[in-house]
Structures are given as C-alpha cells and as structure tokens.
Amino acid sequence: METVLSGIRSTGNLHIGNYFGALKNFVKMQDENRCFFFIADYHSLTTHPTPDDLHGKVKQVLAEYLACGIDPEVATVYLQSDLTEIPELYLLLNMIAYIGELERTTSFKDKVRMQPDNVNAGLLTYPVLMAADIIIHKATKVPVGKDQEQNLEMTRKFARRFNTMYKTNYFPEPTAYNFDEALVKIPGLDGTGKMGKSEGNAIYLVDEPKVIRKKVMKAVSDIGPTQENQEMSEPVKNLFTLMNVISEADTFKFFIEKYNNCTIRYGDMKKQLAEDIINFNAPIRERIIEIMADDAYLGKVAKEGAEKARESARKTINDVREIIGFKQL
Ligand code: TRP
C-alpha cells in the first residue's frame, strides 16, 4: 500500500476536464491506498495575496470534491492552513533549499513574467512549501499532471538532501502516481488545447443546463466533411473526444458514421452532446448544492480531516526535530 497525497488548488470551480482527467481516478485510488487530499490554500496567496472570498472558495472546492466521490471516511481530507506542522517543516526545508535552484524552476520564471510587480518570496519558495506538503506524511506517490513534474522533482531533491545532510534515510522520495489507464486529456470547446479555467473554455460541474447548452452550441466546429472518411479538423476531433467520454457508445458511433458518410449536422451532434453532459452533471451538481447548504457537515469533514492529518504530521515533525538535533534543554 502506498501513501498517496494530492494537493488541490483552491481557486476555481471544477470542470469536466478535471473530472475525467484526474478526479475519477482519485475516487478509485482512495480504496487501495492511504490517501491524503488537501486544499492548498496557502499556495493561493503566492498569486492572490488578498483573495476575495478565500473562505467561500475553499468551501466550494471542498464541496465539489466530496460531491465527486472523495470519501472523508476513507481518505484524509483537510485544509493546508489547518496544520501548523506544514509551515514548520517548510521553514526547516528552506534552510536546505538554494536560491539558485529555486530561481531556475520554470514555474518561478513563468510567474515572474506573469506578475512582475509581485515577485514575492512565497513564489520563489513555492516548491519548498509543496515539498513540505508531500513529505510531512512521508508520501510515496503523488498524482500530478505534466505541469507539476518539476515541483515533484524538487521534492525528491529536498528529501534526498535532508537524508544526506542529516545522515538518515527518513524521507522516501515520492514519485508520480501512474494511473492504470492512460489519462484522458479533455479538450476545450474553443477548438484548441485542453479544457481549463484560464482558457475560458470549460464546462463546470456546477453549470446549469441552460449554460451548458449555450456553451456547447457555441463550440467551434468546421464547414463539414466533403469526402468520405475525411480526416477530422482539430475542433471537430475535440467534439468527438468529448462525446466519447460523456455519451453512450452507440451515440458516439452514430455520429462518427454520419461524419464518415458526410451526412453529419454539427448542430444535431452538439444538441445531443449538451444533453448528455447535462445528464452526466446532474447528480454531481445536485450533490454540490446539497453539501454547500450543509455547513455542519462541511465543518465536520474539515475538523475530522485536520485531526487525522495532524496526527501524521505531528509525528513527522517530532522525528525531524530530533534528527536535526533540537532537544529540550
Ligand atoms: N502545485 C499544485 C498545483 O498547482 C498544488 C499543490 C500544492 C500540490 N501542494 C501540492 C499538488 C502537493 C500535489 C502535492 O496544482
């Protein structure tokens, strides 16, 4: 059994790309491993120093994860800001992290470009805080996307350096969690790239039916195939990719055939796709609304999660203090 840890951004609602790209697998993963899921609310301050409605966003994100099937009875679900042990380990790790290596990370260089007026130290040490998040529970597996691979590499580096520096093998070196099936990349509705919040092309799990219909009907397509079995353009391929994960196999087949014999009407396809997305979202959306209205439940989940997480984190901090040589006088 592995110790799996996943950090969740606290900005932005979940969209169907998040669901099929990762969340669906988290739900399976929690039964087979010792899992920690936490909301990285400290990290959000590196880009949003005065976030509007921080509390509300954290609550929404937590409700959405629970609605998708993350089970707080099985996995440990908590907020980063509820554990003081994380900043404590972060401080200790900062002493063995070098400014040069932090400055060279691509994510730091990207952020400097994106927010030149707010190059704060938190931005520079973002990978150190992320390493603390991970090794505080001695996690061995971290499900991360491509964009987080370098941060995970840094985590391994700090864990290894700690071990070497203090002549111990205390921290394991975490690696990326590989799902059994290849991850599906869900495209956006604008004909290019993947679905994302910042791309503005996403369908959110909380979107109302009429919003979904509007977004799907507006999705980019093309002028239609002019010869049999014509290769698909990027936007049309994207629509079919979405249909493939969302709709029934027969529906997908039906429209593929229509495409191949040039009788397809994209309007019909989009109508069908929109209804299938609405049906898929409906139970999750209902759960989100239900959970959001239940402050007592959310409070209980956060409190019990923090207690479980703290127990594991406290043990690590006590061990680390001893390894480094802090003792009571
Ligand atoms: N950096 C991650 C992201 O942007 C969020 C994150 C913070 C995280 N701490 C983590 C992910 C620890 C995995 C493990 O998505």
* CATH-assigned architecture of domain 209-289: Orthogonal Bundle (1.10)
CB 136 within 8 A of CB 155: no
Q: What angle do CA 201, 60, 281 make, to 5 degrees?
A: 55
* Kind of pairing between the strands at 76-79 and 175-176: unpaired
- Can you tell me the distance from the alpha carbon of 148 to that of 110, in angstroms, rounded to the nearest whole number? 13
Beta carbon of 23 within 6 Å of any ligand 1 atom:
no
Q: Where are the beta strands (DSSP E) in 56-109?
A: 76-79
Q: Is 234 helix (H, G, I), strand (E, B) or coil?
A: helix
Q: Where in the chain is the domain with CATH 3.40.50.620?
A: 3-184+294-324
CB 272 within 8 A of CB 247: yes
Question: 201 φ, ψ to 5°?
Answer: -125, 25
Give me the catalytic one of 157, 194, 258, 315.
194
CB 42 within 8 A of CB 80: yes
Question: 175 φ, ψ to 5°?
Answer: -125, 170
- Can you tell me the distance from the alpha carbon of 234 to that of 85, in angstroms, rounded to the nearest whole number? 47
**Cβ neighbours, 10 Å, residue 72:** 20
Give me the catalytic one of 197, 271, 308, 315.
197
pTM for the complete prediction? 0.90
Beta carbon of 5 within 6 Å of any ligand 1 atom:
yes
Quote the ligand 1 centre to 134 CA distance (angstroms): 9
Note if 194 is an active site residue: yes
Bridge partners of 141, per DSSP, are 4, 175
- State how far Cα 225 lies from the chain centre: 37
Note if 197 is an active site residue: yes
Beta carbon of 21 within 6 Å of any ligand 1 atom:
no
Structure tokens at 215: 């977004």
Q: Where in the chain is the domain with CATH 1.10.240.10?
A: 209-289
Candidate from 5, 36, 43, 155 with most ligand 1 atoms within 8 A of CB, to mutate = 43
**Cβ neighbours, 10 Å, residue 154:** 20
Q: Specify the residue with its C-alpha closest to ligand 1, atom 7.
A: 7
Q: Where are the beta strands (DSSP E) in the chain?
A: 3-9, 34-40, 76-79, 141-142, 175-176
Beta carbon of 7 within 6 Å of any ligand 1 atom:
yes
The pLDDT, as a whole number, for residue 181 is 65
The pLDDT, as a whole number, for residue 28 is 86
Q: Specify the residue with its C-alpha closest to ligand 1, atom 11.
A: 7
Candidate from 144, 155, 197 with most ligand 1 atoms within 8 A of CB, to mutate = 144
* Kind of pairing between the strands at 34-40 and 76-79: parallel
Write out the chain's pLDDT in tens, 329 residues: 899 999 998 878 899 988 988 888 888 899 999 999 999 999 999 999 998 889 999 999 999 999 999 999 999 999 999 999 999 999 999 999 999 999 999 999 999 999 999 999 999 999 999 999 999 999 999 998 788 999 999 999 999 999 999 999 999 999 998 776 666 788 899 987 788 877 778 999 999 999 999 999 999 999 999 999 999 999 999 999 999 999 999 999 999 999 999 999 999 999 999 999 999 999 999 999 999 999 999 999 999 999 999 999 999 999 999 999 998 88
Beta carbon of 9 within 6 Å of any ligand 1 atom:
yes
Q: Is 85 helix (H, G, I), strand (E, B) or coil?
A: helix
- Can you tell me the distance from the alpha carbon of 144 to that of 183, in angstroms, rounded to the nearest whole number? 11
Quote the ligand 1 centre to 98 CA distance (angstroms): 20
The pLDDT, as a whole number, for residue 301 is 98
Note if 253 is an active site residue: no
Question: CATH: 3.40.50.620, 2.60.120.380, 3.30.460.10, 3.40.640.10. Which one for 3-184+294-324?
Answer: 3.40.50.620
CB 96 within 8 A of CB 164: no
- Can you tell me the distance from the alpha carbon of 191 to that of 199, in angstroms, rounded to the nearest whole number? 11
Q: CA 312 → CA 90, 148, 156, 250, distances in Å?
A: 16, 24, 20, 48
